[in-house]
Chains A and B, each alone.
Chain A
Amino acid sequence: MRMPPSSNSRAVLAVALGISLAIGAAAVQAQPAAGGELKIGTLLPMTGPAAQFGPPMAAAVELAAKDINDAGGVLGRKVTLVHADEAGDANIASQALDRLLSQNIRAIMGTGSTSVTLSLLDKVVRARASMCSGANTGPQLTAYPHQGYFARTSYSQVLQGPVYAQLAIEDGHSKIAILARGDAFGKGLAEAIEQSFKAAGGEVLATIVYDPAQTSFDSEVQRIAGLRPEGVAVIGYDERGKIFRSMIERGLGPRNIGLYTTGVLGPDFWKGVNPADAAVLEKVKQGGSVLTIRGNDFGPRLAAHAPGLRTTQFAPEQYDCLVITALAMTAAKSTDPAVYKSQVPLVTKGEVECTNYSDCVRALASGKTIAYVGPTGPTRLTDKGDPTTARFQIYAVDAKGVSQPVRQVQVKAP
């Protein structure tokens, strides 16, 4: 298949060379753009298995940008957003990240899943960009050497596990089984629940990790049904619909045993289980984001900004991510991540407590250190960028298939 050199192929070569030179020049030229606007990127799951979380997170970032701009922007510069889709896929996410970086974007909101973030962090650190996620709950990120270029406002699963374990105990279940999606999120949380349930005297009959891409989960459910658990925790995304159906058909429905799952189920999730019965998931308990605390009006404001969102999961967390990043820039008087990254944890645990961007900026201007408390509540980030306090909203599905808030739980890191 050797091609003889021809004028044609030389022309192609010339064009290719030209293009690569142009790209190179663009990259070199894209040094700190002085002036009016500050570009911030989003890298969120708009498609793929976690696609239900992308729209609320993107809407929350938009709302945060609007609030920041209404308060005069960051260091006098207006925030403009550049959206990108990580699609729950490391390859697609990597390309999307390249696209953002090539536009000289150095502050990125995302991603939606721990495994995707883990696959990108090396590149982020190399580019000296900063990343902040409101959805990553894997404990692996705490140990990752990201040099402070990554932070999150979502609680690590180490904090989340005990909440589910306590829910099951409270309902009087002493023998549970765990079905977890085979990724960083599923395995991490399964381990956290198992550890904490056992520590409190309970028995974990089995922890089964499944491949979310497979067509049937009957074998996994069959195995669990044979163990006769009193409660089952299902850790997954979209595939939970299929799992729930299989469980109900094998006598493991919410009418027979305690059923716990992570992340709030959308208002029409039941249709994927049984389109004829809205009450099919009644009593399934879930843990999710807290939308309103201390009279905070984040929930209604988000609904007004983006009507028709199917879930608000991770929205307050992602909102706080952008506000914290903007405050860190303000405190460091720089939009260079290498400079402001050390301020990211500091603005969440200073002296003066402030609850919105403009108040916080005013406090900073008067020379004080601030502790930003946003819709997520106090986060008090560690130097590794992990929240030390987490608030959970416990939800239970009602007879119409809608997840209703039951109560709030606050957990502090040990």
Chain B
Amino acid sequence: MTFFRLLIACFLMGAGLLAGAVPAHAGTAIGGTLRVKSADAPAPVDGVQLTVQSVQTGQAFRGRSGPDGRFEIALPSAGSYRITLDASSLPSGVLLPADRPATLTVDVQEGQRKLVLYPLERAGAVQEQQGPSAATRVMQVVLDGTVFGLIVAMAAVGLSLIYSVSRIINFAHGEFMTLGALLAFLLSSMAGGPQWPLIASAAVAVLAVGALGGALGTGLLRPLESRAKEHFAILVFTIGLSFAMRYLLLALFESNTQPYREYALQEPLRFAGLAITPRDLVVCAIAVLALLGLGVLLLRTRLGRAMRAVAGDPGLAEATGIDVNRIKRDIWIVGSALAATGGVLMAVSHQVRWDMGYQTLMFVFAAVILGGIGTAFGTIAGGIVLGICMELGTLVFPVELKTALAMLALAAVLLVRPQGLFNRAQRVG
């Protein structure tokens, strides 16, 4: 018996030595490669003893790693086996980390060369450099959250504006986002399309969705508003519209997720340990500019003042000679165009998909409520706070709970401040 084992051991040592050149046994075996981590390439570890024992029969087999670190222990049949690395046979200065087991139990299939792992380390090796520091990680999440928050804020402020003058919560707002993103995709990136630059395509898409929103506000909702006395009917109408548009978009476009041609894959810019893609930087810049533009429109122009007047008291506004219906239409146009802009930015950052707007709508609502419903600037702040909070949560809690935690936080805020976080800010409604 001992002689037999010796024979096998000798044979295996020979096989180990030749392992680099000769393909190993075709039969059932346990094998692997022993390497030790080092600064550059991992170095093979030679001459380490390994023992395999059958769980069923208790029969034992031995093997040794070759100069290339490889070992292979032939087995008579399939079954469950225990393999043990003999730590005393490791070269000095090389060890198996204390938290790694030296004995592994594996199932081996008939004819399979089952591989096992022993991640060896140099004794006293400095622990591999850990990930970024806590402060950098927090900064990075805040940055990521801001990008998402700005996009959400963009769509949310549109929803909020429309609500402030027409008291309608437009559930199809998410589909306006999708429509903007998809139109821009068709014009800029689709095979066989006109392949315009994205910026031009986006402008056309935003104008088109704005026009559609204006038409919806005046053509469909206003007659409905005057006939259906209950707002509930209009609410259900917009929900129905949302479904109809969503599945129409699915029918017209594929269900695949697609990136824009110009902003597909980018090397992130790095500064102070933070990383942001140029794409997201552009998204932020455009969002900030658009929101500033909106601020100027609301506070400094005639139209903006009229909008705020109508939002405050439509009857009074009408008495002062403002054409309320025209203002309402304009608000629908601006609000829908903002949704489309948010959609395009979302797609630049996260690709185009037929239900992207619908998937974002919950966050848009949350931003509106968080900021205080009907307050334009509160809504913007609400969006950014929401984005940052969602990402911050992932530092502490499992990332799977991101959305759940954000909504829980929203509920908690509403319990304390039912009017929203920023209701004292400049009111539009």
Contact = CB atoms under 8 A, between A and B. Distances in A.
Nearest to B189: A275
A214 B267 CA distance: 23
B103 to A, nearest CB: 10
B400 A215 contact: no
B394 A166 contact: no
Contact of B144 (A218, A227, A239): A218
A51 B148 CA distance: 29
A49 B399 contact: no
B222 interface: no
B264 A245 contact: yes
Nearest to B130: A228
Contact of B360 (A175, A215, A223): A215
Contacts of B267: 249
Interface in B32-48: 32-33, 35, 42
A201 B100 contact: yes
Interface stretch (A66-74, A202-210, A354-362): A202-210
Given A166-B115, A200-B116, A215-B350, A238 B256 contact: yes
B228 to A, nearest CB: 13
B399 A248 contact: no
Interface string A35-50: 0000000000001110
* Residue of B110, B117, B131, B266 ringed by the most chain A CB atoms within 10 A: B117
B27 to A, nearest CB: 14
A49 B114 CA distance: 35
Contact of A201 (B119, B265, B399): B119
Size class of the B contact interface (CB-based, 8 Å): 35 or more
Contacts of A277: 265
Contacts of B118: 201
Given A215-B356, A226-B132, A272-B258, A174 B189 contact: no
A166 B107 CA distance: 12
* Residue of B131, B132, B351, B356 ringed by the most chain A CB atoms within 10 A: B351
A14 interface: no
Size class of the A contact interface (CB-based, 8 Å): 35 or more
A140 interface: no
B255 interface: yes
Contacts of B192: none
Interface string A250-290: 10000000000000000000011111110010000000000
A351 interface: no
B49 interface: no
B355 A208 contact: no
B261 interface: yes
30 contacts: A169-B32, A170-B115, A172-B33, A175-B119, A199-B105, A200-B117, A201-B100, A201-B104, A202-B119, A211-B403, A216-B350, A219-B399, A222-B140, A223-B394, A223-B399, A227-B131, A228-B128, A238-B256, A239-B257, A241-B256, A241-B351, A245-B265, A245-B351, A249-B265, A250-B268, A271-B258, A273-B264, A275-B261, A276-B265, A414-B107
Interface of B: 32-33, 35, 42, 78, 100-101, 104-107, 109-112, 114-119, 128, 131-132, 137, 140-141, 144, 148, 189, 250, 255-259, 261, 264-268, 275, 277, 346, 349-351, 353, 355-356, 359-360, 390-391, 394, 398-400, 402-403
